[in-house]
Structures are given as structure tokens and as C-alpha cells.
Amino acid sequence: MPERHLAIVLHDVAPATWPAYRPFVAAVDALAATLGPIPLTWLVVPDFHGRGRFDGDPAFVDRLQRRLERGDELALHGYYHRDDAPPPRTPGEWWMRRLYTREGEFQAIDDATVDERLDGGAALFADQGWPPPGFVAPAWLMNAATRRALTRRDFLYTSCRKRLYRLPEFTPLPAPGLVWSARSAWRRGLSLGVCTLQAHHHRQAGLLRLGIHPVDLGHPGLFDRWLRIVVTQIRAGRQPITKRQWLGRQARGATPP
């Protein structure tokens, strides 16, 4: 059988969200004692909701550096992770930017703002000596200006809900993801059914991504369910891997996408 991999992706990583992640990361690290290495992909927000840049917290920077040294991946996840563009002007824009999400930072900003935020985030990574990162837009929403800007820079990849795109060519690679909507009880209930069906539907996918958010981990049921999914997928034969590592394997032709 073709190799199957599992990417555990932590979204919205910042000093403000670390308390939500601390017990989950510890639990995953504990699983590694019996299941083998479980590298994580951390989607780091430079200035989460404008609360202060992550490089202003030396302990947080040191924590990420140590995770990088143990084999984890650090990727850039927006800049502020909030939609501060001018208000929506059409019903379609309102639905996407107010109902679907209020954090689609790169969905409605202009070229100059895209350039400023991409370059600012990349510079923060470079200042720490971290490798050139992948870029994941908040809520996976990117407008044409963002796509154009990504083709002119050194980011390794970007992604949507179903695919990774190797940059700068935007080469699509199938990589379905599971994600929970945890903002309300009815969303959590609906997500349970959807994720169960998707996990079955994508059981033979070369890469399955778990898109975990800090809000998920505030609900004991979701905290435990994400851990069960990790265990189930690994015991079913999926090898944990970072997105960066998986893309490297594709480039070498190790596993057909």
C-alpha cells in the first residue's frame, strides 16, 4: 500500500493561546512514548489580534525554538489573524466575512497591505533564524492579491481546506483536512458527524491533516476526541509528519500525492 501520513496542525499559535495548547501538547508528547515520534506543525501568528508581537515574549520564542529543534515545523499564519478590512459590501461578502468567519485576514485587503503583512511575518521568522516557512491564511481564505504576492516570495507552500499548494507555482497536492467548528453546541454536534464521515472518506489519502484550534481545547469532549483521532489514525497505519517534511517527500518522489 502507498504510505499514508498524518499532519497534526496547531492553528492560531501565539503567547495568548499557549495556555490552551499547553496540556494538549503535553498529552501528544506523552503519546509519543508508546506510539513513536509525533512531530507537530505550529501555525504561528506574529501579532495575534494586535495583542503584541510574539518576539516580545522571550519564553514563547524559546519554546518554539526548542520545538523546532526536536523536529516540529513552524509556519506563518497571517499576521494579526483578524479581518480589519473595510466592511463587506455584498451579501456574499457579508456571509463569508461575518457569518462563516470574522478572522479571514487575507480575504479583502489590498496589495500593499498584503505585501506589508507577508514581509513583516517573514522578517520575524528570519530574525529568529528560523527556516523560510509555509504560509497559511486565517480560515484558509486568500484573495487574488494574496495569491499574486505569494508567487513572488520564498514561502514553501500555502493551503486550503482540501489541498497544499507548492509555491511559487501553486502546484496543487491533495491533502484533505479535518477541522472542528467549536463556537456553539450545534456547530460542535454538526462537526462530529462531518469529521467522522470525512475521516472515513479520506482513509486512503496520502496525507490527512488535523486542523486543531485553541478554542477546541476549551471543551473537554473535543480535547479528548482530538487525542483519540490522533491515536486511531496512527494505529491504523498513518505516520505522523510535518507538512514541510511531507512536501519534501513529494519532491523526492517518495510517495505519490
Kindly tell me if the per-residue pLDDT of 133 is higher than 50.
yes
pLDDT, residue 182, reads 61
pLDDT, residue 256, reads 41
Strands, sheet with 163-166, edge to edge from the N-terminal-most edge strand: 157-159, 163-166, 171-174
- Distance between CA atoms of 83 and 138, rounded to whole angstroms? 9
> At the fourth CATH level, which superfamily is domain 5-252?
Glycoside hydrolase/deacetylase (3.20.20.370)
Q: For the chain, what is the mean pLDDT? A: 92
For residues 216-222, average pLDDT: 89
Is the pLDDT higher at 20 or at 91?
Answer: 20
Sequence-ordered strand ranges (E) for 150-195: 157-159, 163-166, 171-174, 177-179
Other Cβ atoms closer than 10 A to 134: 25
pLDDT band at 130 (very low <50, low <70, confident <90, very high): very high
Kindly tell me if the per-residue pLDDT of 43 is higher than 90.
yes
- Distance between CA atoms of 226 and 212, rounded to whole angstroms? 8
* Lowest model confidence (mean pLDDT) among 62-71, 94-103, 139-148: 94-103
Ranges of each domain in the chain: 5-252
Is the pLDDT higher at 9 or at 95?
Answer: 9
Predicted TM-score of the model (pTM): 0.93
